[in-house]
Amino acid sequence: MIRYSFVLFVSMVLFCSACGYLWAKDESEDAYDLGKIVVTPTSYEGSVKDSSLSVSVVTKNDIEANTSHSATDILTGIPGVFVHKTSQSGRADVVIRGQGSRGRRVMVLVDGKPEKMGLYGCTITHALPLDNVQRIEVVRGPASVLYGSDALGGVINIITEKAKEKSEGQVTTLYGSYDTQEYLLKQGGKFNAFDYFLTYDRQQSRGHLPNSDYDSKNTTLRLGQQLNDQFRLGFSTRYFDGFKREPSPAPADTWNLYERGAYDITLDGKISEASNLMLKTYRDFGTHKFSDGTYSKDYTNGAMLHFNFELLKDNTFLLGSEFRQQGGNILDGPGVTKGKYEKDELAFFFHDEQRLFDKLILSGGLRYNDDEYAGELFASQAGAVYHLLDITSVRMSVNKGFRAPQLNELRFATQANPDLIAEKAWNYEAGFNHQFTKKLNIDFTYFIMDAENFIRVSSGKFRNLDTVKFKGSETSLEYIFNELLRGRLSYSWLDNGNYTQGRPENEIGMSLIYNKEKWKTSLTGQWVDNYYAADNRQQAIPNFFLLNSKVVYDITKDWQAFLGINNILNVEHEIYADVPGASGVFTQPKRNFETGVTFKW
């Protein structure tokens, strides 16, 4: 299978190169841009090419060209990333380098704020539609120095939109197979120093299988006030209400109802030309009801302070502190101990980045984390990037991540164990980036992750039992064929030892985006091989290759029409997913369609 994967990957590379040769224009035109500005790897602005960590960015152009409807489902195809789901609607749980656990081992952020259930530590991913998303930044590998517990496998940071014009807006209506419907409203504006951005998103679907219907509503509001030349005060809030039935192999009439809300206040700006300050306070909260009788209310309260400044020339030093309080009320459920539960954690950290000789970038950081139950925890990071040439760079990093046990594992679940300790992982990786031409860029990473104390149920209790070692490689190619056509191709290989459940060994992702005058056409694909529904390579899931497409036509300056086709080849395929009340292999939709119109002003 590995040989077959390699042959297929090389064939796709040769195909892209051949197309590039046939379609390429003068090399001076439309050069590949390595200067994407990101904030997630360092918590302050930087460039992908200067990061010692592995970073991917989903841009606004990528989002508009994709048929996905949630901010996590759209990550399919990013190297090192796989998505667990039961259907096209509902939760889409991300696994990065084999780590996920419904968001317990991957930190999911919205504008730098954790999205987290206070009692179970999960992320409700279908509560994150694409209604107000500007871009998504993905860090692959531990990032606990900056983001603490849960950033064991990586970080997903969803950056939301803010108004750029005096008045702007959008209305989109969509209808598709399985009676799928979406209605989206966006409205924003700027008045001198004040800006606002409001969205309302309604999605519903009958689902592709019996007992797979979905219905959700999501409202967001973002406000901003420029206080002076240095500082901006921002406020954002959102509320999500979603009902989902889960098809077989879940038990008959399995359903979940989530209500999620959040708000935050952020003050950020420049103290001087060389120093910046960010202060954020936030609250997440929710109510959850499941078909098995589970009923809970939870919250996560937090505050974070970041201060970065120059210690020396070409230096950026970040000092930070974070407080987080998780809690809630277990009102009902099978085998749970009802009552109120809460835990606090306090952290201090620093991260330093030094540039030398315009070629070398050294970085390092340390985090001290005091968790009420897990006690004192430390995370560290060291990395280096060396620009051999203007078109070539090499990087390496060593990172330590951790995950503190959650309240359900410690206190109230049937399998609760108050003696649990934190999971820990060391990650070692090296990579390079090279521009073969102004149009073709390649990025390669090889990593080894050693982890211990992973928690699983044994003899009726949560226990720290597993020592795991994952290793793998991630390769991506990006090619500008000409000013009309851009392509991306990625290949991920993961050696997960005996921990094969839901973790494919080989995955290829691809995308082509074509823009010409009034037309935008995209083609995205995914190929999966050596995929299992159980550990120790048991319960093999057939490999599959999927193609999706979207066509957008500008009818007028303000009106657009679009058509999306999912699973063009009508492939029968299955995906493993672990959802509340059920886990197993879920049959995915065959070929299906969606169409709609958008009005912008």
Q: So where are the chain's domains?
A: 2-417+424-445
Q: How would residue 179 be classed by pLDDT, with cut points 50, 70 and 90? A: very high
Residue among 496, 507, 491 nearest 543 (CA): 507
What is the average pLDDT score of the chain?
Answer: 92
CA 304 from chain centre, in angstroms, equals 21
* DSSP states of 502-557: T--SEEEEEEEEEEETTEEEEEEEEEEESEEEETTTEEEEPPEEEEEEEEEEESSS
Q: What is the rounded distance in angstroms from the CA atom of residue 492 to the CA atom of residue 92? A: 19
pLDDT at 13 over 50: no
The alpha-helical segments, DSSP class H, found in 24-90 are 60-64
Tens of pLDDT, residue by residue over 119-144, are 999 999 999 999 999 999 999 999 99
pLDDT of residue 28: 40
Mean predicted confidence (pLDDT) in 225-239: 96
Q: How many CA atoms lie within 13 A of 447 on its CB side?
A: 35
pLDDT over threshold 60, residue 473:
yes
Check pLDDT > 50 for residue 497.
yes
Q: In whole angstroms, what is the distance from residue 429 CA to residue 396 CA?
A: 6
- Contact, 539 vs 532, CB < 8 A? yes
Tell me what the mean pLDDT of segment 137-164 comes to: 95
DSSP annotation of 99? B
Mean pLDDT of all residues in 442-466: 96
Instruction: State yes or no: pLDDT of 4 exceeds 50.
Output: no
* Higher local confidence (pLDDT), 23 or 584: 584
**Residue that is written with structure tokens 């009788």 in the block:** 293
- Rounded percentage of the chain residues whose pLDDT exceeds 90: 87
Secondary structure (DSSP) of 416-470:
--TT---EEEEEEEEEEEEESSSSEEEEEEEEEEEEEEEEEEETTEEEEEEEEEE
Q: Which residues fall within 8 angstroms of residue 41, CB to CB, at 6 or more apart? A: 51, 53, 55, 139, 143
Note the pLDDT of residue 288.
96
Residues 294-302 have a mean pLDDT of 97
Query: Is the predicted pLDDT of residue 14 greater than 90, yes or no?
Result: no
d(CA 136, CA 126): 15
Q: What pLDDT, on a 0 to 100 scale, did the predictor assign at position 47?
A: 87
pLDDT of residue 20: 42
Per-residue pLDDT tens over the stretch 246-259: 999 999 999 999 99
Q: Are 530 and 4 in contact (CB under 8 A)?
A: no
Residue 10 pLDDT greater than 50, yes or no? no
Superfamily of domain 2-417+424-445: TonB-dependent receptor, beta-barrel domain (2.40.170.20)
Q: Is the pLDDT of residue 582 over 90?
A: no
Give the pLDDT mean for 333-355.
Answer: 96
pLDDT at 27 > cutoff 80:
no
Closest among 291, 260, 257 to 129, alpha carbons compared: 260
pLDDT digits (tens, 9 = 90+) for 39-80: 888 888 888 889 999 999 999 999 999 999 999 999 998 999
